DNA sequence: TTGTAAGCGTTATCAG
DNA sequence: CTGATAACGCTTACAA
């Protein structure tokens, strides 16, 4: 016993671990129904139910019912090496981008009888390896990966080993794995067009990490869009953020302001980076959108409540998750089907952080 | 019983993949080391390593190493009925309150060799039951529950059955289960004192659901604090929200304004409810804090970027999660230890949504 | 249509 | 100290 108990709780001593009734097993059910376990198994499994007589099936079902029988998925997995579980590999659940994607995934998995096991990698390759190994040893039947980098030896190796997986949001360079992403290029084009239409002629870009497909696709799309609108593709107007974070966004914005402050608008690689801009605006008393317009990407929650409300590219998080899950289920259940990749449609969400340039 | 097994079960032919090299088993290792599987098991398990000679231990370890042996947790669970997994029952991962708590939990579990299985209930008792059953059938060694209601037959029954669990945030009435919550009463007292100090004399409260302990503790604390500051405890200044949501917060605020608009400040049951107030302010051109001051609860992410930045009660989400995980681990590993409950300290985070009353 | 038996990969309990 | 053996709860040839 610990000598120091917090005084706060004074619960009365109680009998340790009350009757934790053993869950009943298949044998219990079989016994209760007066049949062999094998028969009970067949009766309980829709796939094999046809092999037993209707009468015994009924008896077994009834017995299972009264005993409150729940099949033990662990034993089943051991025997069948299936788990009806998929792994979900995220960089960080705390990023508001992911929860809606997770919900989308779960909404598709659940009706199929599957569940998702969520892990965070914190963008640490060590952790990622450990987490994925742990998932695989738990017999997950596939992986949904949201942490892909363009150069990603681990994922490449896994693909070579035939590991079933689907990428969300980002992809690995030259790796033929089913992927679902937002239509990043179109999103950026919409953002640039919006700013150009407002009359902006010097537009900057705070790019996401160029180690990720999302980062390069968006920044490439930015440069194309700029030229399409007849503006100069000035490299000094593009700054790369090392990570998709508010802090990195702020750093990049400071860098940009140090270089040249004649730009009147900025396309941020994503919403967090845009929030970093807001921080710098606050510290330097820059007014948005009066002095500088900002567009984000993702339309994460609560952006409409910011000051000013952030104009951004809306992506269908939930649908992206759902589609990824559907793809993975397809890979599992119809392995012969050719893998697809999909680009989900985006839309510009115009709010208060963009206006005509004042200069 | 299961009248209908998930459709997934019907899957037929085992999908054969490319060269998915069979993971090596304990027998492979034993064979490679020239010992019996049992010996290999002992050598590999730190707990029983003392039972084998140093020499064989070394050989086994080496063999395991070269074969890339990974123990199969499923087989282990089946044998030992332990899983080194705990279940985490959330109402909705999409609520920004939870991800940091989850991280806190994982940060404690991981070093202990445990992982967490996260499920959402959507506040639906049906779903909750199904999810918890699924978790239990997967042999989770304990549950961290964030969905407790004051009257919660399922949780009460589980407690009677001796299910190991810990509550976070909310509790069940008269149920002696280890719980970690924020110090809600103090938080509300701080909020009311702050408003009183600013000179407010008619303060309203948008209470959370009174079906939850958090809701009643906070609203009771509100009434106490009001009286402590010499104000009248006017029931018409308290409106209950049916759910902890922005929409319900907005509805409650409209109701309140309909009753009597002479209040100058409102203490919201939580941040989402406070956001609902913002929505109503926007639609009715009420200025915050000039016309009405607002205080939230929880300090969820990005509140500092709102307009105006929301004054709120900061709670240590991460630490709450960590403490809950620690408690559950204690219950698992030292069952004789007396269960505690803890209240985590909170602090008032003063931002721009509160000021002196203008009326 | 049903029972028998083997075995999934471990670990626990015996002997030796 | 180590090996044999028997489970854990389930599925699935194969036999009857």
Who among B83, B119, B338 is closest to A5 (CB)? B338
**B121 inside domain:** yes
What pLDDT does B20 receive?
A: 56
Residues B325/B108, Cβ–Cβ less than 8 Å: yes
Same domain, A276 and A165: no
**B2 inside domain:** no
Who among A17, A96, A113 is closest to B8 (CB)? A113
Same domain, B309 and B197: yes
CA atoms within a 13 Å half-sphere pointing along the CA-CB vector of A192:
28
What pLDDT does A17 receive?
A: 47
A64 Cβ under 8 Å from any chain B Cβ: yes
Could you tell me the pLDDT band of residue A21, with boundaries at 50, 70 and 90? Answer: low
- Which has more confidence, A275 or A22? A275
Same domain, B323 and B306: no
Q: What is the CATH number of the domain that holds B228?
A: 3.40.50.2300
Point out the residues of chain B with pLDDT beneath 70: 1-21, 359
- Give dist(CA A107, CA A323) in Å, integer: 10
- Give dist(CA B35, CA A320) in Å, integer: 51
**A324 inside domain:** yes
**B267 inside domain:** yes
Question: How many domains is chain A built from?
Answer: 3
**Tokens 């696709």 sit on residue:** A217
Residue B58 CA to C16 C1' — how many Å? Answer: 24
Who among A2, A44, A120 is closest to B2 (CB)? A44
Could you tell me the pLDDT band of residue A334, with boundaries at 50, 70 and 90? Answer: confident
- Cβ of residue A76 near strand D, that is under 7 Å? yes
Question: B221 vs chain A: nearest CA distance in angstroms?
Answer: 19
Same domain, A64 and A138: no
Same domain, B110 and B168: yes
Among A174, A12, A173, A112, residue whose Cα is nearest residue A325: A112
Taking an 8 Å cut-off on Cβ atoms, the answer to whether A94 and B93 are in contact is no
Dump pLDDT digits (tens) for A138-178: 999 999 999 999 999 999 999 999 999 999 999 999 999 99
Q: Which residues contact B122 (CB under 8 A, 6 or more apart)?
A: B91, B92
pTM for the model: 0.91
Domain that holds residue B231: 184-314
In chain B the beta strands, taken as DSSP E runs, fall at 85-90, 115-120, 143-145, 165-168, 179-182, 203-207, 238-240, 265-268, 293-295, 312-314, 342-344, 347-349
Among A17, A20, A324, residue whose Cα is nearest residue A180: A324
What pLDDT does B10 receive?
A: 34
Same domain, B143 and B242: no
A24 Cβ under 8 Å from any chain B Cβ: no
* Chain A residues with beta carbon closer than 8 angstroms to that of B129: none
Instruction: Give the burial class of B333: count Cβ atoms within 10 A of its Cβ; 0-12 exposed, 13-18 middle, 19 or more buried.
Output: exposed
Same domain, B249 and B264: yes
Taking an 8 Å cut-off on Cβ atoms, the answer to whether A6 and B275 are in contact is no
**A77 inside domain:** no
| CA-based torsion, A255, A256, A259, A262: positive or negative | negative
Dump pLDDT digits (tens) for B251-298: 999 999 999 889 999 999 999 999 999 999 999 999 999 999 999 999
Residues A326/A108, Cβ–Cβ less than 8 Å: yes
Same domain, B258 and B335: no
Angle, CA B146 vertex, CA B273 and CA B279 arms, to 5°: 10
**B119 inside domain:** yes
* Chain A residues with beta carbon closer than 8 angstroms to that of B162: 17-20
Same domain, B196 and B101: no
Dump pLDDT digits (tens) for A34-79: 999 999 999 999 989 999 999 999 999 999 999 999 999 999 999 9
B45 Cβ under 8 Å from any chain A Cβ: no
Instruction: Count interface pairs A-B at CB distance under 8 A.
Output: 170
**B17 inside domain:** no
Q: What would the two tokens of residue B148 be?
A: 């407790």
Could you tell me the pLDDT band of residue A307, with boundaries at 50, 70 and 90? Answer: confident
Same domain, B258 and B278: yes
The b-or-e profile of A112-144 (16+ CB within 10 A means b, else e) is bbbbbbbbbbeeeeebbeebbebbbebbbbbbb
**B219 inside domain:** yes
Q: Which of B8, B278, B334 to probe the A interface (max A CBs under 10 A)?
A: B8
Same domain, B151 and B41: no
What pLDDT does B260 receive?
A: 83
Same domain, A281 and A228: yes
Taking an 8 Å cut-off on Cβ atoms, the answer to whether A139 and B15 are in contact is no
Taking an 8 Å cut-off on Cβ atoms, the answer to whether B74 and A162 are in contact is no
B163 Cβ under 8 Å from any chain A Cβ: yes
Q: What is the CATH number of the domain that holds A64?
A: 1.10.260.40
């Amino acid at each position: 016993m610990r000598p120091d108990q917090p005084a706060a709780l004074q619960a009365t001593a109680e009998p340790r671990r009350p009757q934790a009734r053993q869950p009943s097993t298949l044998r219990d059910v079989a016994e209760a129904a007066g049949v062999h376990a094998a028969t009970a198994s067949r009766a309980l499994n829709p796939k094999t139910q046809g092999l037993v007589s209707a009468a015994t099936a009924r008896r077994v079902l009834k017995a299972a019912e009264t005993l409150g029988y729940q099949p033990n998925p662990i034993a089943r997995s051991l025997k069948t090496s299936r788990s009806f579980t998929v792994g979900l590999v995220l960089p960080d659940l705390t990023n508001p981008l992911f929860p809606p994607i997770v919900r989308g995934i779960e909404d598709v998995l659940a009706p199929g009888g599957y569940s998702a096991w969520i892990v965070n990698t914190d963008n640490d390759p060590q952790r990622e390896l450990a987490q994925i190994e742990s998932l695989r040893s738990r017999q997950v039947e596939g992986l949904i990966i949201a942490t892909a980098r363009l150069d990603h030896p681990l994922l490449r190796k896994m693909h070579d080993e035939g590991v079933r997986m689907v990428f969300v949001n980002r992809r690995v360079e030259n790796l033929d794995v089913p992927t679902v992403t937002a239509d990043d290029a179109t999103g950026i084009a919409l953002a640039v067009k919006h700013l150009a239409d407002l009359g902006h002629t010097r537009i900057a870009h705070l790019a996401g990490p160029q180690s990720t497909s999302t980062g390069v696709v968006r920044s490439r799309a930015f440069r194309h869009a700029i030229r399409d609108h007849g503006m100069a593709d000035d490299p000094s107007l593009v700054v790369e953020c090392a990570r998709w974070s508010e802090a990195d966004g702020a750093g990049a914005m400071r860098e940009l302001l140090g270089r040249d402050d004649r730009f009147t608008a900025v396309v941020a690689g994503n919403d967090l980076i845009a929030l970093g801009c807001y921080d710098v605006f606050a510290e330097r008393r820059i007014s948005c959108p009066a002095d500088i317009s900002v567009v984000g990407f993702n339309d994460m929650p609560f952006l409409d409540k910011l000051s000013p409300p952030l104009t951004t590219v809306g992506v269908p998080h939930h649908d992206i998750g759902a589609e990824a899950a559907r793809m993975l289920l397809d890979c599992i259940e119809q392995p012969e089907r050719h893998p697809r990749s999909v680009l989900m449609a985006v839309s510009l969400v115009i709010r208060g952080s963009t206006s005509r340039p004042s200069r």
